[in-house]
Structure 1
């Protein structure tokens, strides 16, 4: 992730000391756009190496973050490969760094896979099925994705005439689909998953778009990243693998709703990137390219319009 808040080694060392950790090295994480994140190598009180990740939140308040941290702890206890927040000496999972809320978590093993094959996609589908079976209670106080989408839709004026007209018709159809009560990740892109050298899924990151929604929407978000070509064109082999992994892990979805959700999710991330944070002070990736999701939306809407009146 990009770094907007700057911290020197002495500040990082002071924070780590509150967790009985000694700083060895730190670097800005190279992927993501919303928060400031450091990949840190440290040693614990017994001199064993510990890899941890510090995230300083640029847009969340402490009150907003609290239910997400509870969710992460619950999911970790449920056996999912997620980074539950570490506690400092005082038993706190949430700290203040440079006047902003911050969380320290263990660094899960593995690396991002930016050239996924069918097996990577199958495992992502299986992970989503496991997530969708988790209790929904921890997510009941989280923001509503439909409301978030409505907020993004206020920026449809940024689109061209044809795309704006298509988007409005699409959202009219989506509003007729009843919201779901399933816990979803909402942002399972390739830079939010980790795989080891054997190609096994070892971690899922960044649950700060988690909420209750239909499983088809979560599948659509994942498919639009894991199962498209560099040009944004859907790759049927990878799509089939992800959905097969989901079904094999007892996931259930409605194909007609998924087809609609694919276009809606593409529109959502196109709009969020158009209005996303861009900072000249950032170290790292900065804002992602909106044009990528403009192309994906075009393909998804075209496929949808061939079967439905949208």
Structure 2
């Protein structure tokens, strides 16, 4: 009822129905239907998303919309504002893009080609985004800076009186990271020869909409927009789409790479060759899912994601040369 009143008071909109779509780590999404039958998506943001990130995302989608890129268009408030600020939170109303997210088990070669093609088109469109270097800089810290944080979290877990299954997993994962960083510099400075540009920042199946024909019809959630390596974003999209448990689908990965390269992808040979090592270095020093588990209320979805990221990280570390050779051979054909 509160949301219904909020929409009626702040938008030129007569609401017939509103229902929760999903609750994520950083926002809640509602599907809104007007009395005229038009559909919208209302995003309610948590404090985990700084205003600067939210506004960066709006700058990027505003830039992409005139290029006929399939991004959600913003519905302005009655005061002609993009974001509605209230004491209870921040709200963003968007035109609804029809279609659906596909679970990984329903994604085939054709869908992967479409994902790669859309990412190639996105990188091409954002290649000359003005003031890209003023976007959030998501470069990570190197081994010397990251190790103390990892040691601190490991010590915190080890000091607990008893350890559950997640504690044991976290200890093993953190120990792995420490051992890697004691031998390997993971800082991004070593990749300074690679190109950087404006990126989506969180391109994966959950933020891609497919139509009934299996084609990509929309890209959502630009609130993680950043200035980073396009090679990192492509490798990340491949990893999250093609790795399942302990199995990697080279067929799907090849489809993403081919779709990307034939539809405007911006990578140079050096970018392609460094893709696996680039993402591996970023994953090793990252504590996503682990940090949240011990700093706040544990979320089973984040725990599951932490397990998945660890499995990808270890597999990638064991297969860096093989993946690099596979990528190079794929883009040459």
What interval of TM-score do these two structures reach, taking the shorter chain for normalisation?
0.7 to 0.9
Instruction: Give the direction of change, closer, same or farther, for the CA distance of 1:307–1:58 in structure 2 (3 Å limit).
Output: closer
Partners in 1 of 2:277 and 2:130 — Cα distance? 27
Instruction: Give the direction of change, closer, same or farther, for the CA distance of 1:186–1:67 in structure 2 (3 Å limit).
Output: closer
> What is the match of residue 290 of structure 2?
274
> What is the match of residue 257 of structure 1?
274
Q: 1:162 aligns with which of 173, 176, 179?
A: 176
Instruction: Give the direction of change, closer, same or farther, for the CA distance of 1:203–1:263 in structure 2 (3 Å limit).
Output: same
1:110, distance to aligned residue in structure 2 (A): 0.7
Q: 1:290 aligns with which of 306, 325, 331?
A: 306
Partners in 2 of 1:297 and 1:183 — Cα distance? 25
Partners in 1 of 2:307 and 2:41 — Cα distance? 34
Instruction: Give the direction of change, closer, same or farther, for the CA distance of 1:242–1:266 in structure 2 (3 Å limit).
Output: farther
Instruction: Give the direction of change, closer, same or farther, for the CA distance of 1:155–1:189 in structure 2 (3 Å limit).
Output: farther
Structure 2 residue 183 is matched with structure 1 residue 172: no
1:247-286 deviations in Å (ceiling 9; x for gaps)? 1113134332112124235446x6212223787698x956
1:178-203 deviations in Å (ceiling 9; x for gaps)? 16332222211211111011111111
> What is the match of residue 92 of structure 1?
81
Superposed, 1:120-135 pairs within 5 Å as 120-133=111-124, 134=126, 135=128
The TM-score normalised by the length of structure 2 is: 0.77
SS in 2 for 1:212: strand
> What is the match of residue 235 of structure 1?
249
Instruction: Give the direction of change, closer, same or farther, for the CA distance of 1:306–1:221 in structure 2 (3 Å limit).
Output: closer
The TM-score normalised by the length of structure 1 is: 0.82
Superposed, 1:29-68 pairs within 5 Å as 29-30=21-22, 32-43=24-35, 47-68=36-57
1:169, distance to aligned residue in structure 2 (A): 4.5
In the TM superposition, structure 1's runs of 4+ consecutive aligned residues that sit over 6 Å from their partners are 148-153, 305-308
Residues 201 and 226 in structure 2, CA contact (< 8 A), matched pair in contact too = yes
Residues 61 and 101 in structure 1, CA contact (< 8 A), matched pair in contact too = no
Partners in 2 of 1:138 and 1:29 — Cα distance? 34
Instruction: Give the direction of change, closer, same or farther, for the CA distance of 1:41–1:143 in structure 2 (3 Å limit).
Output: same
Residues 140 and 282 in structure 2, CA contact (< 8 A), matched pair in contact too = no
> What is the match of residue 190 of structure 1?
205
Larger Rg, first or second structure (1 or 2): 2
Instruction: Give the direction of change, closer, same or farther, for the CA distance of 1:290–1:152 in structure 2 (3 Å limit).
Output: farther
Partners in 1 of 2:142 and 2:177 — Cα distance? 16
Partners in 2 of 1:61 and 1:19 — Cα distance? 24
Residues 135 and 198 in structure 2, CA contact (< 8 A), matched pair in contact too = no
1:222, distance to aligned residue in structure 2 (A): 0.3
Partners in 2 of 1:218 and 1:289 — Cα distance? 18
Residues 22 and 30 in structure 2, CA contact (< 8 A), matched pair in contact too = no
1:72, distance to aligned residue in structure 2 (A): 1.4
1:53, distance to aligned residue in structure 2 (A): 2.6
Residues 56 and 225 in structure 2, CA contact (< 8 A), matched pair in contact too = no
Instruction: Give the direction of change, closer, same or farther, for the CA distance of 1:226–1:271 in structure 2 (3 Å limit).
Output: same
Instruction: Give the direction of change, closer, same or farther, for the CA distance of 1:220–1:154 in structure 2 (3 Å limit).
Output: farther
Partners in 1 of 2:32 and 2:240 — Cα distance? 28
1:38, distance to aligned residue in structure 2 (A): 1.8
Residues 81 and 202 in structure 1, CA contact (< 8 A), matched pair in contact too = yes
Instruction: Give the direction of change, closer, same or farther, for the CA distance of 1:56–1:306 in structure 2 (3 Å limit).
Output: closer
Backbone CA RMSD of aligned residues: 3.0
Higher helix fraction (1 or 2): 2
Unaligned runs of 5+ in 1: 1-8
Instruction: Give the direction of change, closer, same or farther, for the CA distance of 1:177–1:57 in structure 2 (3 Å limit).
Output: same
> What is the match of residue 207 of structure 1?
222
> What is the match of residue 248 of structure 1?
262
